[in-house]
Amino acid sequence: MTLAVSSRHDPAVNDEVDPRETARNRRRDRDAEAEARDLMRPGMGKVFKQIQDAQRKAADETPPRSADRGKAAGRPKR
């Protein structure tokens, strides 16, 4: 039988974070923030608009779905 012990009550658990882990977390956060800032560069609005226009054009070119899309067209009924 195993007893669940919370970290608050377990004297073997150390609440301090290893300095290497802290540095790793900072690098991860900095990299994530850099990606977000990269999207805010001048000219990226134009790229975003081009992507949206391409998606809109692709959506307009696809034929509308018919009401009987679940039925096999041209097959005889059994």
Q: In this structure, which amino acid lies at residue 38?
A: D
SS3 state of residue 48: helix
Q: What is the pTM of this model?
A: 0.33
- CA distance linking residue 29 with residue 24, whole number of Å: 9
| Domains in the chain: boundaries | 19-61
The tens-digit pLDDT sequence of the chain (78 residues) is 455 555 555 555 566 778 899 999 999 999 888 887 877 778 878 888 999 999 999 999 877 676 555 555 555 565
